[in-house]
Chain A
Amino acid sequence: MQWETVIGLEIHVQLSTRSKIFSAAATAYGAEANRQACAVDLGLPGVLPVINAGVIKKAVKFGLAVNAEIAEHFVFARKNYFYPDLPKGYQISQLELPIVGYGQIAIRLDDGSNRIIGITRAHLEEDAGKSLHEDFHNMTGIDLNRAGTPLLEIVSEPDLRNAQEAVAYMKKIHTLVRYLGISDGNMQEGSFRCDANISIRAKGDTKLGTRAEIKNLNSFRFVEQAILHEIDRQIDILESGNKVVQETRLYDPDKNETRAMRSKEEANDYRYFPDPDLLPVELSRDDIESIRTELPELPDAKRQRFIKAFNLSEYDSSNLTISRELADYFEATVQASGGEAKLSANWIMGDLSAALNKENKDITKSPVTANALGGMIKRIKDNTISGKIAKQIFEDMWNGEGDADTIIEVRGLKQVSDSGLIEKLVDEVIAANPDQVEQFRSSPGEKQGKLIGFFVGQIMKKTQGKANPQQVNALLNKKLTAG
């Protein structure tokens, strides 16, 4: 039988506000346990929630970026269940009337094709605290610093058909929220995580199969592996004539497998109802339009613009617009280089990327600024230095030895382009190596290309690599063939 996989993702994006969604406690990551849990976050008797305007604005930005309907009237509801990391015994969330309605986003697959993925809705809710199971003598320790951190839960339609599409979709949302400046997207810190709903059906069926939900996937790799594993597991079940059970599962990256969760097994009855401590939020068309004017250029638009404005390939443009910071760096480099887009792209995706990767640095932490890189590229273009010398200069700039012009000056790396001097050197090398000259001249044309390298090498040796390679080549060709 031919099987088809159906995947829907629920992505939880932590919104990067200073304070929590319903309290004025800080959201900063990494504080000592419970030092950022105020009376409201702890659910002390008598406390009340007040909605953070910054959270609403960030959610609206997301909605606008995926062309979704933004609710002009929405409410918060309580989702009731008992769990130690949920201090009030209910989570303030949204059920009916979420802030962001149906929207769409295009993902790009490896074969270059595009697919439109539907976004069912995105709603706001508060995050829970953390349970720590080690270090407490067979008890569980509860840290409520994270309780009340704003989350935007983005629910996709069951439009994804394989792990690769799911990862492409997740990466697209990740890029988008960082462009919008609504989340830092930090996956290690849990700012961006997802639950995957996976089901299998016979190819051609229109009815969905029974799904399993895999909770709390916090890296692109885990999403891919968990989905691949879960597809195999479900197909095995179906092919052996059994039925998939609807349940919540956890992915174990160490064993690369999913297993059913023990704690939340029982059928929950969340008893949602509108939170009586909060009134409905109303946004006017004007409020929404005013937020729209604050939207930055979005990744797809930027990619298209780079292709047109800088004459870049689709591939280069996609890579350079992967994050807003990288795209900004690229544009600044091009400007500093005097408009050398292709060279700038090559340097950024080549030497710079490699150096950053090696030291595990983000583009915003690059020791070589866009200005410095552009300045160096300018010197390649105006023939002050060769591409080979540039690699050395780049390394020096990386190590903090100043900008390109300073390094060229101090090290005397300026390219030798004096045609009289180059001609003199060419004549010397030809005179000193009669055997090689003879070999060159007796070889067929297609082999001469290789042999000329010897002469170029000799001249570079004499000039410590500074001779203008184009000039050297041209003169050698002329003189060797003329004889």
Chain B
Amino acid sequence: MHQHTLTELSQLLQSKQLSSEEMTKTYLARAEKFNPLLNCYISLSPERALQQARAADKRIHQGNAGPLTGIPVTHKDIYCTDGLKTSCASKMLDNFIAPYNATVVEKLNDAGMVTLGKSNMDEFAMGSSNENSYYGAVLNPWDTARVPGGSSGGSACAIAARLTPVATGTDTGGSIRQPAALCGITGLKPTYGRVSRYGMIAYASSLDQGGPMAQTAEDAALLLNAMAGFDKRDSTCVELPVDDYTASLNNSIQGLKIGLPKQYFGDALDSNIGDLIHTAIKQLQQSGAIIHEIELPNTHLSIPAYYVVAPAECSSNLSRFDGVRFGYRCEDPKDLSDLYCRSRGEGFGKELKNRIMIGTYVLSAGYYDAYYLKAQKIRRLIRDDFQQAFKEVEVIIGPTSPTTAFKLGERTDDPVSMYLSDIYTVSVNLAGLPAISVPAGFVAGLPVGMQIIGNYFSESRLLNTAYQFQQKTDWHRTLPEGYN
């Protein structure tokens, strides 16, 4: 059963060949079996899951079920889930039982989905390898000596090992797309403002965006249908109607103009990955797409600008974790400063401290213009590059990550080498664009992801392109060995 896609599972439920309760038990059992090895879950919520599954079965019997009713889902542990531990993979929130639901969680609950548990991640979504977790690293199911990518590494891993049919993720600099690529699954980062950020614990507010992670583009479309939409609790959430993202999946991509940015195929890229992406592009050409070479000239500035903007916002966003109203509080603080410094010093991991301190530094008196303002100006250049490109082409394609999954511990001593993992993904966040990563083959047994970037609110076209690609390929249906 676990090999099925969400779409297939949904048909099994609707035709009453299977109950949600049975399905939920199967996935819970798989999670319990494989989690000790993979460490992709921080917590499982069997009681809640079974309760929701029974309610879903009732809904199905009453005939008022939707395509997601009764389908198990895993939430990245950054989404607040009322009554369940929401840790952000941090010691700081190890004791935090969220007192409310994130809007995304609320929407998926309303659709009748079943929450299996909360997935592991890099602490507060800061990382590209899932090694920055208070609960330990997540392993890549394709090779357990390697990382699954991050920060939504737990969600990507759980889908790849088929411990959950779908999962939620968040993407601030590539945190959905890069682990999707490294684990061989499909992950979509929507347009900034398409999915509510309410209840999604903030890392960098102007970059964070929640999105679906799944085996296939079709599943991602179904999940996005329920996740997207206006939320009056999020000022940055746009008030635009939501497409039915499944409606255009079958459209032809005949005549689709695809841009290949020169800058995405440079020296940094593993040539084997480059070859696979070119092969994938040929397949799209065979489906009628037209290829243009394009320029995104400021791409090399995106990582420097990102590592100013994101830490600046994070340094402020994380100030609320002070040991006063929730979360970790140090033992016997001798005074107020001691309470703050030790609660935060003991509660946050090393990479968080790096980023909080960089952010504090770039915003401080005398440095603001040289760093923060400068980064915002570069942000405009990067956005304008994309807008220039979208005058010529409809989507932009390249690799998601310059390498396949790297070894655990390989980059942990050098944050800068870790940051370069996101070289093809961060510019999309700076520009606020939607992008999807789809499996495009294997190099030495490790998955490779192809990234498709579109203009604002072009999620339908991205999913359509990805779906058409998946009709011609079966990379997304290939399973790692040992998880049957």
Report whether A279 and B236 are in contact in the complex, using a CB–CB cutoff of 8 Å. Answer: yes
Q: Is B475 located at the chain interface by the 8 A CB criterion? A: no
In the assembled complex, A269 has its CB within 8 A of some CB on chain B: yes
A279 to B326, CA, bound (A): 28
Pair B99/A44 contact, Cβ less than 8 Å:
yes
Contact, CB under 8 Å: B340 / A88: no
Structural contact, B312 and A273, CB atoms closer than 8 A: yes
Q: Given the complex of chains A and B, what is the CA–CA distance between A250 and B1 in angstroms?
A: 71
User: Does A33 sit within 8 A of B, measured CB to CB?
Assistant: no
Q: Contacts A50-B233, A87-B325, A278-B235 hold; do A82 and B340 have CB atoms under 8 A apart?
A: yes
B102 interface residue (CB < 8 Å to A): yes
Quick check: is A58 within 8 A (CB to CB) of the other chain? no
Selected from B88, B98, B236, B327, the residue in CB contact (under 8 A) with A277 is: B236
Contacts of B324 in A (CB 8 A): 84, 87, 142
Residue-wise interface mask of B (321-334) relative to A, using a CB-CB cutoff of 8 A (1 in contact, 0 not): 11011110000000
Q: Determine if B118 is an interface residue (Cβ-Cβ < 8 Å).
A: no
Query: Could you say which residues of chain B place their CB within 8 Å of the CB of A42?
Result: 325
Give Cα distance in the complex from A276 to B172, angstroms.
13
A447 CB to closest chain B CB, in angstroms?
A: 81
A271 near B235 with CB under 8 A, answer no
CB distance B320 to A50 under 8 Å?
no
Report whether A46 and B201 are in contact in the complex, using a CB–CB cutoff of 8 Å.
yes
Known A45-B93, A48-B233: A273·B316 in contact at CB below 8 Å? yes
Asked if residues A273 and B235 are in contact (CB atoms below 8 Å), the reply is no
Is B368 a contact of A88 with CB atoms below 8 Å? Answer: no
- Check B117 for interface membership: any CB of A closer than 8 A: no
Q: Range of interface residues on chain B?
A: 35 or more
Chain B: interface secondary structure? Answer: loop
- Which B residues are CB-close (under 8 A) to A291? none
A39 touches B100 (CB 8 A): yes
CA distance A276 to B198 in the complex (A): 14
**Given A43, A45, A276, which contacts B313 in the complex, CB threshold below 8 Å?**
A276
Tell yes or no: A366 within 8 A of B by CB: no
CB contacts under 8 Å to B, within A257-289, are: 269, 271-273, 276-279
CB atoms of B197 and A48 under 8 A apart:
yes
Q: How far is the CB of A275 from chain B (nearest CB, A)?
A: 8
B282 to chain A, nearest CB (A): 41
A271-B198 in contact (CB<8A): no
Q: Is the CB of A49 within 8 A of B201?
A: no
**Once the chains bind, are B316 and A47 in contact (CB under 8 Å)?**
no
List A contacts of B201 (CB < 8 A). 45-46
Q: Is B80 an interface residue (CB 8 A)?
A: yes
**A51 lies within 8 A of B235 (CB):** yes
From known contacts A46-B201, A47-B198, infer whether A90 and B99 are also in contact, taking CB-CB under 8 Å.
Answer: no
- The contact string, 1 if C-beta is below 8 Å from chain A, for chain B 296-318, is 00000000000000001101101
By a CB distance below 8 angstroms, the chain A residues around B88 are 45
Query: B196's closest neighbor in chain A, by CB?
Result: A48
Inter-subunit contact A84/B336 (CB<8 Å): yes
A80 within 8 A of B: yes
Q: Which of A47, A90, A140, A272 is in CB contact (< 8 Å) with B199?
A: A47
A51 to B236, CA, bound (A): 11
Q: Which of A424-462 contact B (CB under 8 A)?
A: none
B363 touches A45 (CB 8 A): no
Is the pair A45, B80 in contact by a Cβ cutoff of 8 Å? yes
Interface centre among B199, B205, B320, B340 (most CB of A within 10 A): B320
A48 close to B234 (CB less than 8 A): yes
CA distance A435 to B368 in the complex (A): 99
Contacts of A276 in B (CB 8 A): 204-206, 313
Contact present for B100 and A82 (CB under 8 Å): no
Q: Are A87 and B363 in contact (CB under 8 A)?
A: no
B365 within 8 A of A: yes
Q: Which residues of chain A (140-184) have a CB below 8 Å from chain B?
A: 140, 142
Residues on B with beta carbons closer than 8 Å to the beta carbon of A84: 324, 336
Nearest CB to that of A45 among chain B residues? Answer: B201
Within 8 Å of chain B (Cβ to Cβ): is A20?
no
Determine if B319 is an interface residue (Cβ-Cβ < 8 Å): yes
Q: Give the complex CA separation of A78 and B360 in angstroms.
A: 13
B363 partner residues in chain A, CB cutoff 8 A: 80, 271-273
Between B235, B321, B360, the greatest number of chain A beta carbons within 10 A of the residue's beta carbon is seen for: B235
Q: Which residues of B contact A253 (CB under 8 A)?
A: none
The distance from the CB of B318 to the nearest CB of chain A, in whole angstroms, is 8
Chain A residues in 8 Å Cβ range of B93: 45
**When chains A and B are docked, how far (Å) is the Cα of A303 from the Cα of B273?**
81
A89 at the interface (CB under 8 A from B): yes
**Contact assessment for B364 and A46 in the assembled complex, using a CB-CB cutoff below 8 Å:** no
Residues of B within 8 A of A50 (CB): 232-235
Of the candidates A51, A80, A84, A273, the one having the most CB atoms from chain B within 10 angstroms of its own CB is A273
Residues of B within 8 A of A89 (CB): 316, 318-320, 322
Please report the C-alpha to C-alpha distance between residue A82 and residue B336 in the assembled complex, in whole angstroms. Answer: 10
Give the interface centre of A49, A87, A271 by most chain B CB atoms within 10 Å: A271
Is A48 in contact with B316, judged by CB distance below 8 angstroms? no
Known: A45-B96, A50-B233, A273-B363. 12 other contacts (CB 8 A): A44-B99, A45-B98, A45-B327, A80-B316, A87-B325, A89-B318, A269-B364, A271-B363, A273-B372, A276-B206, A279-B235, A279-B236
Chain A contact residues, CB within 8 Å of chain B? 39, 42-51, 78, 80, 82, 84, 87-90, 140, 142, 269, 271-273, 276-279
6 CB-based A-B contacts, threshold 8 Å: A46-B200, A88-B319, A273-B363, A276-B206, A278-B235, A278-B236
